[in-house]
Chains A and B, each alone.
Chain A
């Protein structure tokens, strides 16, 4: 057996005492400590060493009372816990804790779909519910509601994704905006219901987000102030008409024109969904490994990219968007989109009928209606080796800004022999610029290069006023520094007030007591 991973400042005796109490609370079969049991909680895709993220144990809670009990014991023995729902953040982190020795508090067994209201189009779920489970339930019961899910749809879940402020690709793609009401177990054992949830006999917990007084839900996202045990979300009524489409552009420099052409349509609501602009390598990875055109090391040569563009039918940039509504609404908006693209002088519009049953159009169309697909993870065979870190700076939705970010990211990545595999997800006024820093994790030199590169990306982007909206568990401290000392002080003040012993996920988002 591997040496016991202990949290910083916790003795072996202290840790064993905590485990003994946890076994008494949950049962021995719910307290996992063997190498075999902890292996799936230890796998990471990051450039940081496995040992840095090795958990000391994992415990399985099934009820709110058990979560309260776990926090009580961890407070008593000062042993930190790292709560997870499904642990499927891939290049942002997996089930493994941010720092060595933390006890993973696995909420996967809290997987009740507590309520679906088909009239108000709301749901109330526990953290272990996956998008697939919710999708199955809606289909099996003929409930005409659509989900909005991220790319790891099948195996990820709405609570974890929303709490990490993840995005999807439907008109409900800004997931935290569509969240309504939480139940949170605090470090002192109190159970907080946010929004309208604290009102006795209330039936508007999932109907009205804000409640009264300070709005609290936000402090429980990307944070370590409590353990969320229930979450409400809004679901989208299935529209009578749905029209996904693509627009293909032939030059990387077209990103400026693309954004300037389509931003007004997004802000005006003509294109209502969180549409994407994916570059050639992102697009190609869904259908081929890069070894089909280039089998060497380092950056994919321009000649290979030109061949891929010519032979595989992908653009330098590829827009995927969709229209929703009645057939009449869709027809009107389609004509507006066509006119705007034609007036811009560039871009080839591709409809679902023209794309047929081909990838990547097919999976993009699935994601934009909230269906289950893992096709996007073709990204991980592009280069192979299982290394992935999402670099996700926020950009204004202005062409000049997206072009500047693209060029900066590509320059830095190429210096380290890595490819710029990127896309922009279009928000209400911003772009989530998502770059998958792909590397061969079995190659120590390439892993070291990826690590240095990622830190450099954060620094260089930060120097220009750009910061990430989310980051993997290996770089949380550096990302937090970009947001300034006053913000960090407030984060810490809240932490000290709500979790004075610092037992919930220390280090999450750079927050410690």
Chain B
């Protein structure tokens, strides 16, 4: 039985990345897929979960829409950090707003910096 306590969200799950990076074989009928204890962990083409809170928000929240064609491309556009923070806190159109309880100010500073400094992904979906 596992007992644990995480009071801070979302990026301080400071557990070791004890990942088994093998066993992702597919059966000839395609029925054998990931899901066992030895499954390979991938998320948006990453092979690990970021430990840094800002990177985690950037990868697991922002990029879930903004790297998949759901929302506009935001990387590689030199978006001013202050504008990014304004959008995050207020939302715009269908983009939800994020409270400080969800993304604290310090983490949001890091997220805005990551957005501002990130290069555009090759072949990013158009608007």
B-contacting residues of A (Cβ < 8 Å)? Answer: 32, 36-37, 39-43, 45, 58, 60, 62, 86-88, 90, 94-95, 106, 108-109, 111-119, 128, 130, 132-133, 136-137, 139-144, 146, 154-155, 238-243, 287, 323, 327, 330-331, 334, 351-353, 359, 369, 372-375, 377-378, 380-381, 384-386, 388, 442
Contacts and interface: CB of A to CB of B under 8 A. Distances in A.
A112 B96 contact: no
B6 interface: yes
Given A117-B1, A380-B70, 4 more contacts: A39-B90, A40-B100, A60-B101, A132-B10
A224 B32 CA distance: 45
A362 B43 CA distance: 13
A140 B15 CA distance: 7
Nearest to B65: A374
B75 interface: no
Contact of B37 (A117, A128, A142): A142
A242 B33 contact: yes
Nearest to A128: B9
B69 A287 contact: yes
Interface residues of B, number: 53
Contact of B70 (A40, A88, A146, A374): A374
B99 A41 contact: yes
Interface in B43-61: 43, 49, 60-61
B65 A384 contact: no
B31 A86 contact: no
A241 B33 contact: yes
Contacts of B101: 60, 106, 108-109, 128
B91 to A, nearest CB: 5
B5 interface: yes
B120 interface: no
B36 interface: yes
A386 B90 contact: no
Contacts of B102: 40, 86, 108, 155
B60 A154 contact: yes
A353 B27 CA distance: 11
